[in-house]
Amino acid sequence: MNKLLLSTALSLLITAPAFAAGTHGGGHGDDGHGDMHKEMAIGMPGKAEAVDRTIDVIMRETDDGEMIFEPAEFDIKKGETIRFNVVNKGEIEHEFVIDTMEGNAEHKEAMAKMDMEHDDPNSVRLDSGMEGEVIWTFANEGSFEFACLIPGHYESGMHGPITVEQSEEAPAAPAVYSTGKIKKVDAKGKKVTIIHGPLENLDMPSMTMVFKADEALITKMKEGQDIEFVADRVKGKLTVIAMK
Ligand SMILES: [Cu+2]
């Protein structure tokens, strides 16, 4: 009993200062901008050398008083790095910001109080006639939004959806069959000597080599037989894994 009380008292002594420090540290990043340069729900700043695709984006006003982005929506595959090549073809200043809908709503509210100019990697702000870019890696699936958060512009039409979807699985690479002629079959040793053409998947030229093969395949092999086969490294040994 005494021991238990003592350990409880000790743990209180140890955890109390740590808790205080944690609270203090947490207070700093709470202005909502502290995490901008790390990963956001929509992804993270992309590297120019990793760009998969470039999308041209035009910002402008229309004759009937709207403000628009062209295109009006983006479909992106999860993991894609996109270069948004943004051109302001309008008469006034605009910006291109990508974020969650909640993130944009919060930002918009803040900007309604004070028109602040951001310089975050998920946005670019351009004077009339100017051109700029945002390079972004969309790391997560979901529905996001691009918008201009300059007061009044969102309401005039400057926003659109970004849909990020899982890309379909790439189809499995078809087996690469090579041609060859069986020179010798060693059923006991489960080995076969094949005079073969180039083994493309293994990057090997034509030659005569000894391959391993399992019993099921060995029994089908006859000396002098012309075959099409797939060879691969199995446990470090060249092995015939399929034959037709
Ligand atoms: Cu705008």
For residue 159, how far is its CA from the centre of ligand 1 (angstroms)? 9
Choose the weakest-confidence range: 64-78, 97-111, 171-185, 216-230. 171-185
Centre of ligand 1 to C-alpha 116, Å, is 13
Predicted confidence at residue 8, as pLDDT, reads 45
Q: Which of 165, 189, 212 is the last residue of a domain?
A: 165
Distance 83 CA to ligand 1 centre (A): 20
Alpha helices in 36-100 (DSSP H): none
pLDDT digits (tens, 9 = 90+) for 118-135: 778 999 999 999 999 999
Residues 198 and 110 reside in one and the same domain: no
140-197 pLDDT tens trace = 999 999 999 999 999 999 999 999 999 776 566 677 889 999 999 999 999 999 999 9
Distance CA 38, CA 36 (A): 6
Domain membership of residue 229 (yes or no) is yes
Q: Where are the beta strands (DSSP E) in 44-155?
A: 44-45, 53-61, 67-70, 74-77, 81-88, 94-99, 123-126, 131-137, 142-147
Centre of ligand 1 from the C-alpha of residue 177, in Å: 58
Residue 89 in this model has a pLDDT that exceeds 70: yes
Give 124 Cα–ligand 1 centroid separation in angstroms: 11
Question: What is the layout of strands, in order, in the sheet containing 131-137?
Answer: 44-45, 131-137, 81-88, 53-61, 67-70
Task: Based on the fold, state whether residues 54 and 156 are members of the same structural domain.
Answer: yes
**Domain region containing 217:** 178-243
In this structure, are 103 and 159 located in the same domain?
Answer: yes
Helices (H) and strands (E) counted in the chain, each on its own, are 3, 15
- Range 2-24 average pLDDT: 42
Which of 165, 196, 217 terminates a domain? The answer is 165
- What is the number of domains present in the chain? 2
What is the 186 CA–ligand 1 centroid distance (Å)? 76
* pLDDT for res 143: 97
Tell how far the Cα of 98 is from the centroid of ligand 1, in angstroms.
13
Residues 137 and 58 in one domain: yes
Per the prediction, the chain carries an average pLDDT of 85
Check: CB of residue 129 under 8 Å from CB of residue 88: yes
In a domain, 2, yes or no: no
Q: Check residue 152 and give its pLDDT.
A: 95
Q: How far is the CA of 134 from the centre of ligand 1 (A)?
A: 16
**Domain of 216: which CATH number?**
2.40.50.320
Report the separation in Å between the CA atom of 23 and the middle of ligand 1, taken as the mean of its atom positions: 39
pLDDT exceeds cutoff 90 at 93: yes
Q: What is the pLDDT of residues 195-238, one digit of tens each?
A: 999 998 888 899 999 999 999 899 999 999 999 999 988 888 89
Assess whether the previous peptide bond of 121 is cis (omega < 30° from 0): no
H/E element, 13: helix 2-26
Ligand 1 centre to CA of 126 (Å) is 9
pLDDT at site 28: 37
Do 111 and 43 have their domain in common?
yes
The answer on 127 and 222 residing in a single domain is: no
pLDDT of residue 116: 74
164 CA distance to ligand 1 centroid (A)? 24
Beta strands 207-213 and 123-126, pairing class = unpaired
Can you give the pLDDT at residue 21? 36
The CATH number of whichever domain residue 145 belongs to comes to 2.60.40.420
Query: Rounded to the nearest whole angstrom, what is the distance from the C-alpha of residue 148 to the centroid of ligand 1?
Result: 5
Share of the chain above pLDDT 70, in %: 82
- Tell me the CA distances in angstroms from 166 to 78, 93, 110, 154, one per residue in order: 5, 35, 33, 28
